[in-house]
């Protein structure tokens, strides 16, 4: 005979399906203020959910039940109340199984909740918990010390189960629409993981199992079939490599390297020199840094002192250089790095360089992700600020670095996902580079889940805010060709699901297109575009075409466009690099 503790909304004492003689004790746990809790005798159900769950558990059972009521008027689980209740059970109630047909999707006290669940498991109390019916990750079902139960239509009757290996979801069980006892009305038709959890608990209560491990073994044997998932992989092993860089040089000085040199003071190491090939036209060029403290002069790559004390080469995208110069610069630099024992941080994908990878320390910002949680998404409670744009080459990454600088200077603990391969060099937590020479090709749904997983891992570090930037434009200007579709950007927006967004625009963008982009972002992510940042570069010719020389717009052009945007879009608008402190205050004000 087992003793089962049911944490729910109590039970209806007059319901004909409830066996009152099997109820050993019934209590109600209430919260009346911060850290003020009370426990009283009795647990009369005012909702019906607890009655439904108990009717399933008591069916053909002679086990004993302890009813713990934590819901009174609404089925809303308070994390502090649940934590107190589990602690109370640990100290004052002996039981074999705890049934939790409930879950919390956003849990600020997750570590404390996990700790008490682990203590209960260690004293051989089995906990079964239902996943949230919305499909999100929920707690405590997701904990490794809890049997997490979900509903799957493939389970067609009360005795069918599917066992899952290597997943936070341990078992799928019957949760299809069924007629169950309720309060008012007397019966209802209901479905969901709450019922699935109760059926799993009922099955375990009929067995001679004393531990969670024994319970899972029996479920494994009972299951109609077993699904084995690959271990969830989210590789971000570049952090160790970057953390050990002390002195580095960059080659070549192309578009992606501009921010590395200009924001050298945000790097996690010393940037010694900048190099390029003579044919690029960059050799001899002065590189003005953003803080104005330092100035780099681009040097001929042949002048590199390979015996010097730098330890790492930051190697930019070289595909175009290789084609234009008819030289394999990738092979040249890797061979020299190998010869002089220099490490390589490579912007391009180096996964095919099998011959040299074993003889040189090389790293590149790649992404490998395998999901094993059936598409469940983490709720991100930490504020998320997204930087999106209407096009490419409009300073989005510069803005990400400026915001990083300002948040750090003001003492914020920030997490950040960058949009360029250099993001990790600046100490950002992760990078999703799906622009030029992208390093991964995850399909839409997996891509979305990978972004959500990244946000979750960053949130676990206890940051105050997460910043993340997107690539290129957000919505197509038109769809005359499939190449103009912005599927990746929409997937990124969906996965990021930001709370607030800053939109970067070009000075030549039409106001209607800017408005459409704002509407799309706010509708798709249910967020606010809080500010617009204007990129002041325009085209020298009459038409904005790729390859046309660019120039900085005149001051009066910029002022006029800023005013037009503010009047048309009714959003604060700033020129990139000008009055950025005001932009920062706008962002902070919106979050506070």
Residues 429, 234 contacting (CB under 8 angstroms): no
Q: What distance in Å separates the CA atoms of residue 135 and residue 353, rounded to the nearest whole number?
A: 41
Residue 131 has pLDDT above 50, yes or no: yes
Q: Where in the chain is the domain with CATH 3.40.50.200?
A: 3-229
Residues 193, 130 contacting (CB under 8 angstroms): yes
pLDDT tens-digit series, residues 453-506: 999 999 999 999 999 999 889 999 888 888 888 999 999 999 999 999 999 999
The pLDDT value given to residue 256:
85
The CATH number assigned to the domain with range 238-363 reads 3.40.50.720
Long-range contacts formed by 348-355: CB under 8 A, 24+ apart: 348/315, 348/317, 348/318, 348/319, 348/437, 349/437, 349/439
Confidence of residue 436 (pLDDT cuts 50, 70, 90): low
Q: Before 208, cis peptide (omega within 30)? A: no
How far are the Cα atoms of 97, 125, 140, 201, 244 from residue 117, in angstroms, in the given order?
12, 9, 8, 16, 38
Q: What is the DSSP letter of 70?
A: -
Confidence of residue 441 (pLDDT cuts 50, 70, 90): low
Residues 96, 120 contacting (CB under 8 angstroms): no
Residues 525, 493 contacting (CB under 8 angstroms): yes
Beta-bridge mates of residue 350: none
The pTM of the full predicted model, rounded to 2 decimals, is 0.90
Confidence of residue 541 (pLDDT cuts 50, 70, 90): low
DSSP strand pairing (64-69 vs 3-8): parallel
Mean pLDDT, to the nearest integer, of 552-574?
Answer: 96
pLDDT tens-digit series, residues 249-270: 999 998 889 999 999 999 999 9
493, 498, 503, 504 alpha-carbon torsion, rounded to 10°: -70
Query: Which residue is listed with tokens 């040199």?
Result: 261
Q: Which are the contacts of 466, defined by CB distance < 8 A and separation ≥ 6?
A: 380, 382, 383, 384, 385, 414, 415, 416, 417, 455, 458, 459
> Under CATH, what is the fold of the domain 3-229?
Rossmann fold (3.40.50)
Query: Which residue is listed with tokens 């590395």?
Result: 260
Average pLDDT score, the chain: 91
More confident position, 319 or 239 = 319
Confidence of residue 234 (pLDDT cuts 50, 70, 90): very low
Element (H, E) at 297: strand 295-297
Residues 353, 384 contacting (CB under 8 angstroms): no
Instruction: Give me the half-sphere count of Cα atoms (radius 13 Å) on the Cβ side of residue 10.
Output: 24
Could you please report the per-residue DSSP string of 329-372? HHHHHHHHHHHTT-EEEESS--TT-HHHHTTS-EE-----EE--
Confidence of residue 547 (pLDDT cuts 50, 70, 90): low
Question: Angle at the Cα of 326 (from 324 to 327), degrees rounded to 5?
Answer: 115
Mean pLDDT, to the nearest integer, of 215-235?
Answer: 80
Q: Where in the chain is the domain with CATH 3.40.50.300?
A: 369-591
Confidence of residue 356 (pLDDT cuts 50, 70, 90): low
Confidence of residue 359 (pLDDT cuts 50, 70, 90): confident
pLDDT tens-digit series, residues 308-331: 999 999 999 888 888 888 888 888
The CATH number assigned to the domain with range 369-591 reads 3.40.50.300
Q: What distance in Å separates the CA atoms of residue 355 and residue 590, rounded to the nearest whole number?
A: 52
Residues 437, 319 contacting (CB under 8 angstroms): yes
Question: Angle at the Cα of 114 (from 167 to 379), degrees rounded to 5?
Answer: 65
Counting every residue written for the chain, the total comes to 592
Residue 494 corresponds to which tokens in the numbers above?
Answer: 């969906």
Q: Where in the chain is the domain with CATH 3.40.50.720?
A: 238-363
Q: What percent of the chain has pLDDT over 90?
A: 73
The pLDDT value given to residue 257:
92
Mean pLDDT, to the nearest integer, of 76-91?
Answer: 96
The pLDDT value given to residue 167:
92
Q: Which are the contacts of 408, defined by CB distance < 8 A and separation ≥ 6?
A: 414
How far are the Cα atoms of 246, 251, 269, 295 from residue 308, in angstroms, in the given order?
13, 16, 16, 20
Q: Which are the contacts of 156, defined by CB distance < 8 A and separation ≥ 6?
A: 174, 176
Local structure of 508: helix, strand or coil: coil
Confidence of residue 396 (pLDDT cuts 50, 70, 90): very high
Worst-scoring range by mean pLDDT, 8-12, 46-50, 540-544, 561-565? 540-544
| Phi-psi region at 66: left, alpha or beta (left = phi > 0; alpha = psi -120 to 50) | beta
Could you please report the per-residue DSSP string of 224-279? SEEEEPPPPEE--THHHHHHT--EEEEE--SHHHHHHHHTGGGSSSEEEEEEE-GG
Q: Maximum Cα–Cα distance for the chain, whole Å?
A: 91
The pLDDT value given to residue 439:
53
């Amino acid at each position: 005979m087992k003793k089962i503790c049911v944490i729910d909304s109590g039970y209806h004492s007059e319901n004909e399906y409830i066996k009152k003689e099997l109820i050993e004790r019934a209590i109600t746990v209430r919260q009346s203020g911060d850290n003020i809790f009370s426990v009283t005798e009795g647990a009369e159900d005012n909702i019906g959910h607890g009655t439904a769950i108990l009717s399933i558990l008591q069916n053909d059972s002679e086990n004993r039940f302890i009813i713990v009521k934590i819901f009174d008027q609404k089925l809303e689980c308070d994390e502090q109340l649940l934590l107190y209740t589990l602690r109370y059970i640990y100290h004052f109630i002996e039981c074999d199984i705890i049934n939790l047909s409930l879950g919390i999707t956003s849990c600020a006290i997750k570590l404390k909740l996990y700790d008490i669940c682990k203590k209960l498991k260690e004293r051989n109390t089995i906990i079964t918990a239902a996943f949230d019916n919305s499909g999100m990750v929920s707690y405590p079902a997701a904990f490794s010390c809890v049997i997490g139960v979900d509903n799957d239509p493939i389970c067609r009757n009360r005795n069918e189960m599917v066992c899952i290996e290597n997943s936070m979801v341990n078992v799928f069980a019957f949760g299809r629409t069924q007629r169950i006892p309720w309060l008012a009305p007397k019966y209802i038709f209901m479905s969901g993981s709450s019922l699935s959890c109760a059926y799993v608990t009922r099955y375990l209560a009929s067995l001679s199992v004393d531990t969670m491990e024994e319970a899972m073994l029996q479920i494994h044997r009972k299951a109609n079939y077993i699904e084995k998932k690959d271990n969830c992989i989210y590789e971000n092993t570049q952090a160790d490599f970057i953390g050990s860089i002390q002195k580095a040089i960059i080659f070549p000085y192309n578009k992606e390297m501009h921010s590395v040199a200009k924001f050298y003071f945000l790097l996690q190491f010393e940037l010694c020199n900048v190099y390029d090939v003579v044919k690029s036209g960059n050799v001899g060029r002065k590189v003005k840094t953003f803080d104005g403290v330092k100035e780099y002069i681009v040097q001929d790559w042949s002048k590199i002192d390979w015996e010097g004390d730098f330890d790492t080469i930051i190697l930019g995208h070289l595909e175009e250089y290789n084609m234009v110069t008819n030289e394999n610069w990738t092979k040249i630099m890797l061979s020299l790095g190998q010869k002089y024992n220099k490490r390589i941080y490579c912007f391009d994908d180096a996964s095919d360089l099998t011959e040299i990878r074993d003889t040189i320390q090389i790293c590149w910002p790649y992404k490998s992700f395998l999901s094993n949680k059936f598409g469940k998404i983490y709720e991100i409670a930490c504020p998320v600020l997204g930087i999106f744009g209407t096009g490419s080459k409009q300073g989005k990454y510069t803005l990400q670095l400026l915001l990083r600088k300002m948040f750090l200077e003001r003492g914020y603990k920030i997490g950040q996902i960058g949009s360029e391969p250099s993001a990790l060099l600046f100490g950002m937590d992760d990078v999703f580079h799906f622009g030029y020479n992208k390093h991964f090709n995850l399909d839409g749904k997996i891509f979305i889940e990978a972004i959500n997983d990244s946000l979750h891992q960053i949130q676990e570090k206890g940051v105050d805010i997460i910043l993340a930037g997107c690539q290129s434009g957000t919505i197509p200007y038109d769809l005359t060709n499939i190449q103009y579709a912005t599927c990746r950007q929409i997937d990124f927006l969906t996965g990021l699901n930001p709370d607030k967004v800053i939109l970067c625009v070009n000075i030549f963008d039409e106001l209607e297109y800017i408005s459409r982009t704002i509407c799309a972002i706010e509708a798709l992510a249910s967020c606010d575009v809080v500010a617009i940042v204007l990129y002041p570069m325009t085209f020298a010719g009459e038409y904005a075409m790729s390859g046309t020389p660019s120039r900085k717009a005149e001051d009066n052009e910029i002022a006029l466009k800023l005013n037009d945007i503010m009047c048309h879009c009714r959003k604060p608008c700033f020129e990139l690099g000008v009055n950025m402190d005001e932009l920062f205050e706008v962002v902070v004000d919106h979050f506070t």
